[in-house]
Amino acid sequence: MSDYRGRFAPSPTGRLHFGSLVAAVASFARARTCSGAWLVRIEDLDPPRERPGAAQAMIQDLAHFGMHSDEPVLYQSGRDSAYREALNRLRDQGDLFPCGCARKDLKGHRVYPGTCEGGLPPGRSERSLRVRVRGTVSFTDAVQGPVTEVLADTTGAFIVRRADGLTAYQLAVVVDDHFQEITEVVRGSDLLDSTCRQIYLQTLLDLPRLDYVHLPIATGPGGEKLSKQTNAQPVDPQNPLPALVNAWRFLGQRAPTGTIATVDQFWARALPLWRLENIPRVREMQP
């Protein structure tokens, strides 16, 4: 077993669909061909969006596709104390400030205008916590290539604790990737825009940088991302091979030949064919 550690981190908002299957397959294949560990983390930080039973159903679906977490599944809903610790550190360092802006206050602003960065304006009380941004963040994605971002120009100070008191995705994922000792993140390119913010938080918290692989995302006929929000149909875990082969080909990989009767046979023949360099660089594709 190498030092490589990868993960698949879905939100429990529904059953496994083709778009999420692609991310699971790529992260699993990458971990296995690097002789590393593959972990599953359930990002259940947004109760209003979650569906009862969805997390367990997704874990069962993954098993039908031959993918099992090498360690106990981590649930973000049980990680609040770790997030508070990170927030306290950022606060003590002077990297956070309270924001009293509601969404309606920021309508028309693509970048946070700094309304509360110098102090809460009269008549406003704290709603969320934002992190101050400065400097340039650069990294090289294994598929998408070099990325450089000046956060002050693209997002401005961004939220790390939401108005409802929940930890924002950007901070939670950084804290949990470090906790699980993840070395490389393999996920859809719809999250590429989040990566510089996450690297910035890694720097503020003095955490090691990770490697990144951002995959093309599967889209519908109208160009919309396949997701629960766009009513993407779940894959059939009782007949997993067709979807598994389609996901493999979607990732630009050469499919194994010959008769394949089980998912174990698929993985045994497919993994030796895995080539990271064959993943399409485009950010959106129809399956």
DSSP annotation string for 126-187 = --EEEE---SEEEEEETTTEEEEEEHHHHT-SEEEE-TTSPBPHHHHHHHHHHHTT--EEEE
Half-sphere exposure of 234 (CA within 13 A, CB side): 14
Supply the Cα-derived Rg of the chain in whole angstroms: 20
C-alpha 68: how far from chain center: 18
Taking 50 as the threshold, does the pLDDT of residue 183 lie above it? yes
On whether the CB atoms of residues 226 and 232 are closer than 8 A, the answer is: yes
On whether the CB atoms of residues 248 and 25 are closer than 8 A, the answer is: yes
User: Which pLDDT score, from 0 to 100, does residue 219 have?
Assistant: 81
- Which whole number is the average pLDDT over 166-188? 97
Instruction: State the pLDDT confidence band at 96, using cuts at 50, 70 and 90.
Output: very high
* Residue 285: both structure tokens together: 């594709």
User: Which pLDDT score, from 0 to 100, does residue 258 have?
Assistant: 86
Question: Residue 40 and residue 148: Cα distance in Å, rounded?
Answer: 29
Question: Which regions of the chain carry the CATH code 3.90.800.10?
Answer: 80-161
- Which whole number is the average pLDDT over 252-263? 93
Question: Residue 197 and residue 139: Cα distance in Å, rounded?
Answer: 11
User: Which pLDDT score, from 0 to 100, does residue 220 have?
Assistant: 67
C-alpha 55: how far from chain center: 16
Burial class (CB in 10 A: 0-12, 13-18, 19+), 108: exposed
- How much of the chain, in percent, has pLDDT values that exceed 90? 83
Question: Residue 211 and residue 26: Cα distance in Å, rounded?
Answer: 14
Span 117-156, pLDDT tens digits: 999 999 899 999 999 999 999 999 999 999 999 999 999 9
* Residue 110: both structure tokens together: 């693509």
Helix, coil or strand: residue 98: strand
Lowest mean pLDDT among 40-54, 71-85, 109-123, 212-226: 212-226
Taking 50 as the threshold, does the pLDDT of residue 166 lie above it? yes
Ramachandran area for residue 108 (φ above 0: left; ψ -120 to 50: alpha; else beta): left
Length of the chain: 287
Pairing of strands 158-161, 128-131: antiparallel
- pTM of the complete model: 0.93
C-alpha 11: how far from chain center: 9
User: Which pLDDT score, from 0 to 100, does residue 158 have?
Assistant: 98
Helices (H) and strands (E) in the chain, counts: 8, 12
Taking 70 as the threshold, does the pLDDT of residue 228 lie above it? no
Fold of 80-161: Glutamyl-tRNA Synthetase; domain 3 (3.90.800)
Question: Which regions of the chain carry the CATH code 3.40.50.620?
Answer: 5-78+176-285
Lowest mean pLDDT among 21-35, 83-97, 161-175, 230-244: 230-244
More confident residue, 229 or 255: 255
Q: Which helix (H) or strand (E) holds 204?
A: helix 192-204
More confident residue, 248 or 283: 248
User: Which pLDDT score, from 0 to 100, does residue 50 have?
Assistant: 85
On whether the CB atoms of residues 129 and 160 are closer than 8 A, the answer is: yes
* 3-state class percentages of the chain: helix first, strand second, coil last, to nearest 5: 35, 20, 45
Domain 5-78+176-285 has CATH 3.40.50.10860: no
User: Which pLDDT score, from 0 to 100, does residue 230 have?
Assistant: 45
Question: Residue 215 and residue 34: Cα distance in Å, rounded?
Answer: 18
User: Which pLDDT score, from 0 to 100, does residue 221 have?
Assistant: 64
User: Which pLDDT score, from 0 to 100, does residue 231 have?
Assistant: 46
Taking 60 as the threshold, does the pLDDT of residue 75 lie above it? yes
Q: Mean pLDDT of all residues in the chain?
A: 93
- Which whole number is the average pLDDT over 26-54? 94
